[in-house]
């Protein structure tokens, strides 16, 4: 009730929680590790009347739980709670109240059809607004997946990538709170986390993550190997579709004379650009850190 339907301020009491649990008695699974299939065990069901949020359930058997769930799903608080979570995930950490209200109305009028709710959100002006563009910071798992995809990485052994996700703060299947990992930027954006994200991009682009290989030369092209500015422009077009803030571009351009990038001695007229380092810096830019 708190986590998935009504929310923490959903208007229920502890007694409602107890009565809802009574409705769901008998709902179980076979052997969890061998045969984790749902089944209703009538012997475990609590018989008799249950009252949840003023609604009485006394059908007997599995229908007590089914009707109670239908009641929760049609509650206006559930409509607002679910709509808020969807808007927070797809639009911004603090979605506009007007958008949430319209989504909640669509939820109630459609009988809880999530497709209708999503359509309301996607076709809303808030979804396409400048404020919503790249407003969401990628969680570590999303960042790892999108970086590997951007680099066309070939991952034959995935465990090292999984370990990097954990190092960036989101060890898979290990969230401590029942709500799971946070969907807000404030959890993922801090000095240490951003450094780990940049190091991940640099490691992946430099083929320093065991079990995963990247062929940057074919992506950046032959001209990038002798000109750091060409390498930078190509990487920006490849990984950011050319959409980069002037300040970010200026900062990256200022790094192109770094000896680590231009691998040549002072008297050597031939430049050997470290394309992996250029790509890693672009992938570590704020624009790539956001959806």
Same structural domain, 245 and 289: yes
Q: What is the pLDDT of residue 258?
A: 87
The answer to whether residue 283 is domain-embedded is yes
Q: Which letter, b or e, does each residue of 179-198 get, where b requires 16 or more Cβ atoms within 10 Å of its Cβ?
A: eebebebeebeeeebeebbb
Q: What is the pLDDT of residue 270?
A: 59
Residue linked to tokens 């993550």: 209
Domain limits for position 63: 14-73
Q: What is the pLDDT of residue 266?
A: 58
The answer to whether residue 244 is domain-embedded is yes
Same structural domain, 90 and 111: yes
Same structural domain, 226 and 279: yes
Same structural domain, 166 and 269: yes
Q: What is the pLDDT of residue 210?
A: 95
pTM equals 0.85
State the DSSP H helix or E strand holding residue 1, giving kind and residue range, or none if neither. Answer: none
pLDDT for 182-238, tens place per residue?
999 999 988 888 899 999 999 999 999 999 999 999 999 999 888 999 999 999 999
Number of domains the chain is built from? 3
Q: What is the pLDDT of residue 13?
A: 96
The answer to whether residue 8 is domain-embedded is no
The answer to whether residue 90 is domain-embedded is yes
The answer to whether residue 6 is domain-embedded is no
Q: What is the pLDDT of residue 189?
A: 87
The answer to whether residue 161 is domain-embedded is yes
> What's the rounded Cα separation, in Å, for the pair 148 and 246?
26
CA neighbor of 229 nearest in space, from 250, 210, 209, 244: 250
Same structural domain, 94 and 151: no
Same structural domain, 215 and 150: yes
Contact 155, 112 (CB under 8 A): no
Same structural domain, 65 and 202: no
Picking from 49, 73, 97, the residue at the C-terminal end of a domain is 73
Same structural domain, 232 and 89: no
Specify the pairing of strand 38-40 against strand 154-155: unpaired
Same structural domain, 250 and 276: yes
Picking from 132, 147, 171, the residue at the C-terminal end of a domain is 132
pLDDT block averages, 10 residues each, the chain of length 291? 92 96 96 89 95 96 97 97 97 97 98 97 97 94 97 95 95 91 90 91 96 94 90 96 95 90 68 90 95 90
pLDDT for 76-104, tens place per residue?
999 999 999 999 999 999 999 999 999 99
> What's the rounded Cα separation, in Å, for the pair 88 and 77?
16
The answer to whether residue 22 is domain-embedded is yes
The answer to whether residue 179 is domain-embedded is yes
Same structural domain, 125 and 144: no
Percent of the chain predicted with pLDDT > 70: 97
Same structural domain, 146 and 284: yes
Same structural domain, 64 and 84: no
């Amino acid at each position: 009730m708190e986590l998935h339907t009504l929310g923490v301020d959903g208007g229920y009491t502890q007694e409602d929680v107890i009565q809802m649990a009574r409705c769901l008695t008998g709902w179980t699974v076979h052997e969890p590790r061998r045969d984790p299939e749902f089944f209703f065990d009538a012997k475990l069901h609590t018989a008799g009347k249950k009252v949840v949020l003023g609604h009485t359930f006394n059908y007997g058997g599995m229908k007590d739980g089914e009707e109670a769930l239908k009641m929760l799903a049609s509650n206006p608080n559930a409509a607002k709670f679910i709509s808020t979570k969807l808007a927070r995930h797809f639009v911004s950490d603090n979605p506009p109240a007007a958008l949430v209200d319209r989504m909640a109305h669509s939820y109630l009028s459609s009988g809880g059809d999530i497709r209708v709710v999503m359509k309301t959100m996607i076709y809303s002006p808030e979804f396409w607004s400048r404020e919503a563009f790249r407003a969401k910071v990628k969680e570590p798992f999303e960042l790892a997946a999108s970086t590997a995809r951007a680099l066309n990485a070939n991952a034959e052994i995935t465990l090292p990538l999984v370990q990097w996700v954990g190092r960036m703060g989101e060890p898979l299947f290990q969230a401590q709170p029942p709500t799971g990992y946070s969907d807000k930027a404030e959890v993922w954006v801090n000095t240490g986390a951003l450094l780990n994200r940049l190091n991940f991009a640099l490691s992946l682009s430099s083929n320093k993550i065991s079990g995963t290989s990247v062929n940057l030369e074919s992506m950046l092209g032959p001209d990038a190997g002798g000109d750091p500015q060409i390498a930078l422009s190509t990487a920006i077009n490849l990984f950011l579709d050319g959409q980069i803030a002037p300040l970010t571009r200026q900062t990256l351009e200022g790094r192109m004379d770094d000896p680590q990038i231009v691998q040549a001695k002072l008297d050597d007229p031939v430049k050997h650009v470290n394309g992996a380092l250029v790509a890693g810096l672009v992938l570590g830019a704020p624009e790539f850190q956001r959806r």
